[in-house]
Chains A and B, each alone.
Chain A
Amino acid sequence: MSIVSPLVQPVLLIALPLVGSIMAFLLSSRRATVGVAVVAGNLGLVGGLIGRLCATGPWQHSVGGWGAPLGIDLYLDGLSATMLAMTALVSLGISAYSAAYFSATAARHFWPLWLLLLAAMNALFLSRDLFNLYVTLELVGIAAVALTAMRGQRDALVAAMRYLLTTLLGSMSYLLGVALLYHSVGSVDMVLIGETPVPPPVAAAAFALMAVGLLLKTALFPFHFWLPGAHSSASAPVSAALSALVVKVGFYILLRLWIEVFPALADEIAGLLGFLGGVAVLWGSLQAILQQRAKMLVAYSTVAQLGYFFLALPLVAAGGSRVWGAIVLLVLAHALAKAAMFMAAGNLLAFAGHDRIRDLDRVVQRMPLTAAALGLAGVSIMGLPPSGGFSGKWLLLQASLEQGNWPIALVLLLGGVLAAVYVFKLLEHIFTSGTPTGEPRAVARTMEWAPLMLAIGAIALGFLTTTVLDLLAVGEPFVPGRRDDY
């Protein structure tokens, strides 16, 4: 272990995918092999980091040796470790799927972009520096747009353009907020800013600007307009990455800001965000029910599921770490389940040549693994036991009832019912016998196993709830300010 442990460094989480991306760019073949190997290595690194985290507690890496506020700090605690693990696991599933999915010509564009996206997300989850977070946000956004547009079809290009304009607008707003904060405090380090008194109007303006920017990227209603188009028109593995991972990064930063920088302000708008979250859950679910195409249904499901994270925000003031933990659990469960759903939908598309729900015939006979993946993922999305989705919703339901917050409890239950409607809508046609419209094409084995493994992961999360919550608690990420343990 003593030979291995110096290798287990957070910086390698950025270096490895970066080098992999460059290799994928320079090589003329074997791109997928490099890609999958790099992502597997990334997962191994994350595992090692979690081991170190649990043994020695949270730690910080001052890049350049200077330390905040002069330099930039990388910080690893339970929350960032959990997000890194989520990214690593889902990325492995997506990479395995992509190895079989893309033709050679598409692969030469996909792998360099995809590995850079992974490096960017890792860098984002490790950073505590608000300006550094801006740079990583742009990295993630540009990579995501490029991957969306890669498919080249007209709908993908239009959706990618809209996505790019929206995400750049969000970044500009965020950066203006950072500018205000820096000039009030003299630092862009989150914790230092949180410890320094800032005049209320300035803090409110900075928070509003940054929050609007991040909400645009996280597609909270009414800023969700770009999402269904982008997530449904991208290639299946890209859709999986967008819904499972990319939309979460904005929420992660908002969570950190909520706790470290703007605790008082945030509680004041928790009600508004909770309301918007509730609208997102209900409206998104209704839209999902109305969709005729499988990928659009899954995309609107993302809009709805993202609403849950915000719906629960009014509960955190009184509920504290327990409620935050439940929210992160939902983030994780959604990542696993939604990636599985999009990849499974991609299989349906590859198999039948289309994704019109009504015309999908007996997939369950020809692609039992895909059907199983959809079913299991659906269980988590609906919030049925046992699954990660159920654990998260159950904890939130408990908290809302304890706090006497009936509206939130109601929306939680109603959302589950609506989710059941659209999940069953998708599943029933897969199990029925319609008339096949054309010759079905075989789908590669890996493309069936990858979503199934992720969907099983979403279910397994239900059994591992306490373990995950314990990991989350390392370093007390939901309590502001502690940086003095190492």
Chain B
Amino acid sequence: MTGMLRWAFAGLLALLAVGLVSVVLQIPEIGGGLRSQVMAQLPESGVDHAVTAVLLNFRGYDTFLELVVLLLALFGAWGLSDSIDEAQLDTDIAVLTELVAFLVPVLILVAAYLLWVGAYSPGGAFQGGAVLAGAGVLLSLCDPGWRSRRIERTAELLLVPGVLVFLLVGLGSMLLGGQFLEYPKDIAGSLILLIEAFAMLSIAVTLHTLFAGTPRVGGDR
């Protein structure tokens, strides 16, 4: 873009930004939004943390679809995976290897903790899954082939339980006479933990696969 055009574009955007700023300042006070409803229903939700309750119960359907988005991105990346030469990393760095050897077990523990604590404080499947994926990425930086040599098939199978368990719980609720994803109140907390556990595994494997590799499930190479 030429200089003149850039200035014009910037000017236009600045105008729009100012307009939007004035709009935001005019947004009316609505007294806490949906907070009161969330807090009122929180005891029924099976968890004690408001955001987790919204994510996994009240608006659990969004979370379910979000897991599908992750899987979709992986399928899409898989479809694009041919003929890219991965860059060769220099992985023979002592400090890196030592650090990763120390960090990875810690990260796994942190991930498990985040999963568990999500019921009471900020945390949950996504946070835990991201940390776990980070651990995997660190390992890949040290030893790029660590997955393909050991647990490739298992890892690939772990891609789908997140979505499937969520779906099964949701459909199961319908069999019990409720709506989709309407957890029976007495076991809501346990169901949420179950969903989150599998979701964490799938999220971690998906994120790491997006970074480091391409799945080869189904016997095709």
Contacts and interface: CB of A to CB of B under 8 A. Distances in A.
Interface of A: 9, 11, 15, 18-19, 21-22, 25-28, 61-66, 69-72, 74, 105, 108-109, 112-113, 116, 119-120, 123, 131-132, 135-136, 138-139, 142-143, 145-146, 149-150, 152, 180, 182-187, 199, 201-202, 204-205
B76 A63 contact: no
A19 B157 CA distance: 14
B86 interface: no
Contacts of A204: 23
Contacts of B195: none
The binding surface of chain A is classed by DSSP as helix
Contact of A183 (B33, B76, B160, B174): B33
Given A109-B75, A135-B65, A201-B22, A61 B27 contact: no
Contacts of B60: 63-64
Contacts of A184: 27-28, 30
B19 A61 contact: no
A354 B207 CA distance: 40
A26 B179 contact: no
Given A116-B72, A186-B34, A109 B78 contact: yes
B91 interface: no
Contacts of B174: 9, 11
B180 A11 contact: yes
Nearest to A197: B28
Contacts of A108: 218, 220
Interface residues of B, number: 51
Interface of B: 19-20, 22-24, 26-28, 30, 33-34, 37-38, 41, 57-62, 65-66, 68-69, 71-73, 75-76, 78-80, 82, 157, 160, 163-164, 167, 170-171, 174, 178-183, 217-220
A200 to B, nearest CB: 9
Contacts, number: 152
A335 B151 CA distance: 45
A149 B79 contact: yes
Nearest to B66: A135
A19 B167 contact: yes
Contacts of A183: 27, 30, 33
Given A63-B60, A65-B179, A139 B69 contact: yes
B30 A139 contact: no
A243 to B, nearest CB: 20
Given A113-B76, A123-B65, A199 B27 contact: yes
A22 B34 contact: no
A131 B79 contact: no
Contacts of B71: 22, 116
Contacts of A22: 71, 160, 163-164
A186 B19 CA distance: 22
A116 B74 CA distance: 12
B161 to A, nearest CB: 10
B37 A69 contact: yes
Given A11-B170, A64-B57, A136 B65 contact: yes
Task: Report the 7 A-B pairs with minimum CB-CB distance, sorted nearest first.
Answer: A146-B76, A65-B182, A28-B219, A109-B79, A28-B218, A205-B23, A63-B61
A201 B72 CA distance: 37
Contacts of B20: 205
B182 A64 contact: yes
Given A25-B160, A180-B23, A131 B61 contact: no
B69 to A, nearest CB: 6
Contact of A26 (B24, B28, B37, B160): B160
A61 B179 contact: yes
